Structure 1
């Protein structure tokens, strides 16, 4: 793993840092190639204009390169091992939590930009950023959460959002979309609500999350015509948010970030099969559920953490290592690398993982139980055409950073930076400090 800390170099070289309003917009799945290359036929005036007038970088992410751990790193400047958001879905080996995600701010174990800003007396708003349910002290919070995808989810958002929201914004911004809606229309609606909140609250710090590009890349694949069309519309939404923020305060710093890159996929490997065969997972009588387990994969897109029921059991650890080694030797199993606990620690991954398994390019991790025989390991086709979650040193997983505003060096390319460097730099611009950031800001 080549995951040594990379400093942010000199993101803000042109002037000393001073407190300024910051709008931080996350575009899920935005690769640097989309906005850095001008010969790819994409019309992205907002992103490319911000990059030309500001500073950009490719970003090495975290283990695993999936949405929630990455967004927690963008908020804390720490790796998942420190902030505690180890995956998208919570660890639920018996599958009782109805695919519950890390929606709750209380799950984040490190100091966040939201907390630092509120503690510094700043006005803060949030629209749809991951792990934002239950944030306190914000001027306005529209957190990301869903459960059933039915109209009851609208009541859930209303109950968990800042009192009166989103109903108070309907006349100005239209209906607020349910959290499970990852369409471009939903992103455009959330952008409209962000604009309304920026105008109403004049925040010192705003976070906005847009998800449709990620969704379309999963469905149609990276570089697909469908995904590219979505990004063009997201670019237009970003342009409107930036214009609204700078109409309120021309000194606003705009920070565009993403959480991970993307890779095309066509086949699935399924570590559940060899674990069931080895007796490490025992199924219910009808074969459709898990009755008990000694070791189990915790899938994360293109990789999987391996959790042990008894982490200190040396015999169990050796048994699991042998199962993984045998699977990795199978050329048809789609396994790239296996990390042990020491390598996971060095990469900043969860302390609860005894091993971490990475898929080969073109493969993703599956978790099907029914009929979990050898053939499931050997490359079932998948209808998912794009995936992330692979080890962060895989170049295709690189995320994006664009910073634009007063004092930001124009037209500067920082090369490849570490994702943990971003949050402390943003904190300094807001005029606050993160307690737990693992890398210092470079200004």
Structure 2
């Protein structure tokens, strides 16, 4: 009888989900927001009236298990596609650049995404779309009004770059109304506030059925001062107020809109930088010129905060692979280096990690991958907070809060997989995303 009752309930739930009306969606990303900061806001002394109200009105995850690595760009591409980095093609924030020729180039360009996005799915369903500052969004297909995320130097020329890459005709009237748009390199809460004003204006004027906006201030402060610090908590409270502005603008423009708030990863305090380049230089796998810069390489770490992918110049070279495996074993054998695990290629693929990786190094909490090849093996960390660790760590779980008329489930959703968010939003939009790796969750 209990089994029959459960089956009947499942059938009702499926029928209810199928019959749910389509709804416009505002997708807000708050980089680095940990789920406990909303769920346990009162216990942590945080005043978050807007985020907690959304959680009460709809559904929330007790945690979202992310992707490998738990970095901003891979995670945001999963959030907008429903697939892992190994399939969508964005395996890091920075492009792989072993000779440092790309001037610290990030994965800005949506042409690098190898699978369909929610923007494309919504556009194919006849819906108008808009984007404000979402990672990997330059020239994104399916975006009708696009203010993509990009920067180079932070100088005035970056404004010209943004004007050239934004949807033609979108930026000038908004700047005339609202003042200068925030520089892409500006990751502060002040920069977020400018982007929120622009998003609110687009929502009010154009009523896009699917809008994405990315706010970076929480992540910026947690890197600088550490998660849970007074400075980070102050930015979280300020960001809650910005969410309130967005929600008010969206609901005024479209009363039936669904609000989805997500984050890309959690955070851990960090104390040690580990120079993974040093043993590769010592083994002759990286060569330096007279200027101290990389002049040649056979294998090199692609650092990602709490992990590093190891990329081989000749992945099919068994001797090279064996040599690298020996170097990695030696690094991991010294407890002072803070190595939690070495993943081989098969394990990286199983976990959906970067397609370029022949190995991955996973760091222990408190340790991060260092940037300076000339540094000692272990030094005090340059940041006070970091992510990028294996998604298995509960501290890396991210946030989901969703409220609106088309939800299939309400209340606590438990721990969900990040890959299920995009197909859930596609269902709410009345769009189709068959390439997603998991079915809808909410």
Contact 2:309 2:361 in 1 (8 A): yes
Aligned pair in 2 of structure 1 residues 394, 232: CA closer, same or farther (>3 Å)?
Answer: same
**Structure-to-structure mapping, 1:286-435, within 5 angstroms:** 286=291, 288-370=292-374, 372=375, 376-377=376-377, 379-408=378-407, 412-435=411-434
Shift of 1:39: 1.2
Partner of 1:247: 252
Partners of 2:43 and 2:176 lie apart in 1 by: 41
- 1:6 is aligned to none
1:42 aligns with 2:46: yes
With over 3 angstroms needed to count, the CA separation of the structure-2 counterparts of 1:318 and 1:80, relative to structure 1, is same
Question: What secondary structure is seen at the aligned counterpart in 1 of 2:37?
Answer: helix
**C-alpha separation in 2, matches of 1:52 and 1:171:** 38
Deviations 1:344-367 (A, max 9, x none): 011001121010001111010013
Partner of 2:209: 204
Q: Which residue of 1 aligns with 2:84?
A: 79
1:82 shift after superposition = 0.6
Measured against aligned partners, the alpha-carbon deviations of 1:41-68 in whole angstroms (never above 9, x if no partner) come to: 1110111000011100110000000000
CA separation of 1:411 and 1:44: change in aligned 2, threshold 3 A: farther
The answer on 1:130 being equivalent to 2:129 is: no
Deviation at 1:165, TM superposition (A): 2.8
* 1:81-96 matches, cutoff 5 A: 81-96=86-101
Query: Are the aligned partners of 1:15 and 1:407 in contact in 2 as well (CA < 8 Å)?
Result: no
Write the distance in 2 (CA, Å) between the matches of 1:173 and 1:210: 18
Aligned equivalents of 1:29, 1:383: Cα separation in 2: 18
Deviation at 1:249, TM superposition (A): 1.4
1:442 to partner: Cα distance? 4.0
- From 257, 265, 268, the equivalent of 2:262 is 257
In the superposition, the TM-score normalised over structure 1's length comes to: 0.94
Quote the offset at 1:25 in angstroms: 0.3
Q: Mean Cα displacement is larger for which, 265-274 or 407-416?
A: 407-416
Structure 2 residue corresponding to 1:28, chosen from 20, 28, 31: 31
> RMSD in angstroms over aligned alpha carbons?
1.6
Counterparts of 2:214 and 2:432, CA distance in 1: 22
Aligned-residue offset at 1:136: 3.7
User: Deviation digits for residues 384-433 of structure 1, max 9, x if unmatched?
Assistant: 00000001101110001011011437861111110000000100111111
Distance in 1 between residues matched to 2:428 and 2:111, nearest whole Å: 25
How far the C-alpha of 1:120 sits from its partner, in A, is 1.4
Q: Is the 8 A contact 1:131 1:144 kept in 2?
A: yes
8 Å Cα contact 2:89-2:355 kept in structure 1: no
Q: Match for 1:162 among 164, 167, 172?
A: 167
Partner of 2:323: helix, strand, or coil? Answer: helix
Contact 1:30 1:260 in 2 (8 A): yes
**Does 1:186 find its partner at 2:185?**
no
In structure 2, the gaps of 5 or more residues are 1-12
In 2, the alpha carbon distance for the partners of 1:23 and 1:220 equals: 30
Aligned positions, number: 428
Name the CA shift for 1:437/1:179 in 2 (closer, same or farther; >3 Å).
same
| CA–CA distance in structure 2, aligned partners of residues 84 and 334 of structure 1 | 28
What is the CA distance between 1:18 and its match in structure 2? 2.3
CA distance in structure 1 between the aligned counterparts of 2:289 and 2:435, rounded to whole angstroms? 43
* Counterpart secondary structure, 1:351: coil
Q: Is the 8 A contact 1:56 1:402 kept in 2?
A: yes
Look up the SS of the partner of 2:399 in the other structure. strand
| Distance apart, 1:330 and its partner CA | 0.5
Q: Secondary structure at the match of 1:353?
A: coil
Residue 137 of structure 1, CA deviation: 4.4
Task: Indicate yes or no: 2:113 matched with 1:108.
Answer: yes
Shift of 1:164: 2.1
